[in-house]
């Protein structure tokens, strides 16, 4: 095999690492791939770390220990920062988005791959240290962002459904009070999660927090700990808190009184 140049190694390493966020690659993996010494690969990693830090492309971390190596995390990316969320807010401020019942139309936002990827990476960046084993969402609009978050965390995504599906086997069913005050049902296959795991809740919208509280109660049935909760959009109200430390990408003024609404990025987004 011909000797591989450094610029070629850097290009391949960048692709491999960014295509698998939060996965640890040993230095030996790249040594075998490029047929080069570990000291050379270490130098390549240092170059990539500096470049990503300088241009705001995420973090490349060195993990020590027997199972250590290097991993990429899309944290602090300039492309997905407060300006990115403000751009989404601008889209949501457009005319004719108000829906009956005090809702806002944003299904088009949740179906845009680039926007969904950015929102998922922003959310994931807040929860790398909580040790979530999976991302839980409620069907159906929250699925795209939940999947993008799960991809960035490198964990599975689990979907709670309104009714049991025969192809998922036996399930746990609970009733909960939705944000509108109605009684709804929620179901999850018994095979979907295991006792003692940790869940991160991700959903599209929160007004009263009824659905999120339902998911928390559902996790209790499985003896699963909920370690975080994040929404794409939440009504700005102190009364809606679901759990300590919950987050939302964007905050919306309550529109049920018919007044003009406002929407802004959450304060934690820099």
pLDDT along the chain (270 residues), means of 10: 88 97 96 94 96 96 88 94 96 89 89 97 96 96 97 97 88 88 91 96 92 95 97 80 88 77 93
Q: What is the pTM of this model?
A: 0.93
Residue 230: its pLDDT value, please?
Answer: 97
Residue 242: its pLDDT value, please?
Answer: 81
Q: Report DSSP state, residue 44.
A: H
Beta strand segments in 74-197, E: 98-99, 103-104, 134-138, 157-160, 171-177, 183-189
Backbone Cα Rg of the chain: 21
Beta strand segments in 50-197, E: 59-63, 69-73, 98-99, 103-104, 134-138, 157-160, 171-177, 183-189
Residue 238: its pLDDT value, please?
Answer: 55
Residue 19: its pLDDT value, please?
Answer: 96
The helix, strand and coil proportions of the chain, stated in percent and rounded to the nearest 5, come to 35, 25, 40
Pairwise CA distance, residues 36 & 42, whole Å: 11
Residue 23: its pLDDT value, please?
Answer: 96
Residue 207: its pLDDT value, please?
Answer: 86
Pairwise CA distance, residues 198 & 95, whole Å: 41
Residue 103: its pLDDT value, please?
Answer: 80
Residue 63: its pLDDT value, please?
Answer: 93
Residue 253: its pLDDT value, please?
Answer: 87
Token output for 149? 């978050």
Cβ-contact 117, 90 below 8 angstroms:
no
Token output for 216? 């928390």
Pairwise CA distance, residues 238 & 98, whole Å: 22
* Nearest alpha carbon to residue 134 among 80, 72, 73, 196: 196
Residue 208: its pLDDT value, please?
Answer: 84
Residue 258: its pLDDT value, please?
Answer: 64
Residue 221: its pLDDT value, please?
Answer: 96
Coil vs helix vs strand at 226 = strand
């Amino acid at each position: 095999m011909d000797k591989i140049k450094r610029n070629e190694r850097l290009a391949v390493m960048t692709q491999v690492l960014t295509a698998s966020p939060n996965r640890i690659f040993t230095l030996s993996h790249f040594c075998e791939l490029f047929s080069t010494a570990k000291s050379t690969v270490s130098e390549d990693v240092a170059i990539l770390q500096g470049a990503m830090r300088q241009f705001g492309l995420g973090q490349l971390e060195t993990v020590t220990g027997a199972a250590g190596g290097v991993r990429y995390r899309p944290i602090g990316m300039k492309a997905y920062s407060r300006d990115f969320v403000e751009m989404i807010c601008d889209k949501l401020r457009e005319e004719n988005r108000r829906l009956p019942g005090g809702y806002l139309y944003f299904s088009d936002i949740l179906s845009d791959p680039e926007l969904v990827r950015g929102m998922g990476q922003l959310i994931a960046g807040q929860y790398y240290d909580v040790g979530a084993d999976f991302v839980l969402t409620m069907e159906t609009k929250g699925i795209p962002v939940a999947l993008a978050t799960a991809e960035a965390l490198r964990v599975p995504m689990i979907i709670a459904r309104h009714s049991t599906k025969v192809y998922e086997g036996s399930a746990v069913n609970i009733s909960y009070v939705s944000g509108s005050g109605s009684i709804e049902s929620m179901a999850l296959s018994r095979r979907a999660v295991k006792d003692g795991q940790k869940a991160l809740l991700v959903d599209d919208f929160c007004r009263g927090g009824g659905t999120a509280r339902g998911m928390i109660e559902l996790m209790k049935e499985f003896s699963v700990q909920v370690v975080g909760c994040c929404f794409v959009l939440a009504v700005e109200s102190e009364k809606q808190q679901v759990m300590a430390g919950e987050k939302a990408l964007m905050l919306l003024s309550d529109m049920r009184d018919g007044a003009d609404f406002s929407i802004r990025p959450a304060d934690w987004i820099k």
